Structure 1
Amino acid sequence: MTTATSSPAPPARVLRAPAPSVRFGLAEDAAELAQLSRPFVRSGALRERPVSLYAAQAADFLVAVGPGGRLEGCVGLCVYPAGPAGCGAPAGVLYNFCVAGRQQGCGVGAVLLRTALTRARALSLGALFTATTGGGRLFQRYGFTSTAACLAPRPWAESLDPRRNARILARAV
């Protein structure tokens, strides 16, 4: 009689969805951008913006597109010129950063943030700023730290609603 020992089963393969592709936003994405942002507006994490504003600012957005063509996430990147008398490099502000609930935790936010950083470098920005009402862990993993509003582009810093109690984060590009 021969006894065979069982060999361990091969490790289970984790099937991952393909990474979304990222492209620039288009005016025709406006309604879907507004819909994607709506849950975050309801929670107080984002400001409400009309569809017309998304259409007008579509070129600011990087959008993550899933295999079915559906938007899975977005982030706006607004560029502000150098300070008075050309002092300092232009700076960027990341805004309206959101990922569809069904895609949270799947790397969509990281793909968008890496793409935004690459775009900021291509635009020769000196720094990137953002405001968050959440913990900001994703931003911190990519080198963002808390900063003072006086260091951010003035028009943007002055537009922040103090009632939202958002933290300002920044990182050098």
Structure 2
Amino acid sequence: MITATPPPAPLSHTPHALLAPKPPSVRAACREDATALAELSQPFVRSGALRERPLSLYANRAADFLVAQGPGGRLEGCVGLRVHAAGPGEGRGPVGVLYNFCVAGRKQGHGVGAGLLRAVLAAARAQSLGALFTATTGGGGLFLRYGFVPTTARPAPPSWAASLDPRRGARILARVL
């Protein structure tokens, strides 16, 4: 009896997972990413979801950011993590604030935000942060799915809480690590 290996299935029968686009890789941002970070953020600034930030902030604080980079090298999302040391008499260790979290419109709903959030949670744990805070003008569904809960400004870093513009109506969310 002669046996032969069957030919590969035609593309139309290939499992969907094999045809799915490669997910973006998450990496630390560098100073050279400043322009791309600013461009990625602009649609969210125009909609009122993000505060306007100067290009110099993206350049000077590039080390705060994680970016999701697509296979072609284009940035598909970003999130900033700013560490705040405990103030005198606060009785807590350092905490982090997530800011400028955005995903390109064409990539929303494809797991880019979830990948960034998992990566920034891992980075926060690696830095032994006790909690993370963020403010959102949206529903915050992704944050809530990853264990963030609504809170007030009271437990948040005072300098960050004082910088929030009450006219924006942002909700403060926190997650203990």
TM-score by structure 1 length? 0.91
Name the counterpart of 1:36: 40
Name the counterpart of 1:146: 150
In 1: Cα distance, 2:151 partner to 2:90 partner: 22
Q: Percent identity?
A: 68
Name the counterpart of 2:137: 133
Name the counterpart of 2:119: 115
Q: Which runs of 5+ in 2 are unaligned?
A: 1-11
Shift of 1:16: 1.9
Residue 82 (str. 1) matches residue 86 (str. 2): yes
Residue 64 (str. 1) matches residue 68 (str. 2): yes
Shift of 1:84: 1.8
Shift of 1:86: 6.3
Residue 97 (str. 1) matches residue 101 (str. 2): yes
Shift of 1:138: 0.2
* 4+ residue runs over 2 A deviation: 9-15
Shift of 1:85: 3.8
Which secondary structure does the structure 2 equivalent of 1:150 belong to? coil
Name the counterpart of 1:3: none
Name the counterpart of 2:4: none
Name the counterpart of 1:13: 16
TM-score by structure 2 length? 0.89
In 2: Cα distance, 1:171 partner to 1:109 partner: 17
In 2: Cα distance, 1:166 partner to 1:16 partner: 35
Quote the RMSD (CA, aligned, Å): 1.5
Which secondary structure does the structure 1 equivalent of 2:16 belong to? coil
Q: Which runs of 5+ in 1 are unaligned?
A: 1-8
In 2: Cα distance, 1:68 partner to 1:31 partner: 17
Q: Kindly provide the CA deviation profile for residues 78-137 of structure 1, in whole angstroms up to 9, marking residues without a partner as x.
A: 000023246211100000000001100000000000000000000000000000000000
Shift of 1:13: 2.2
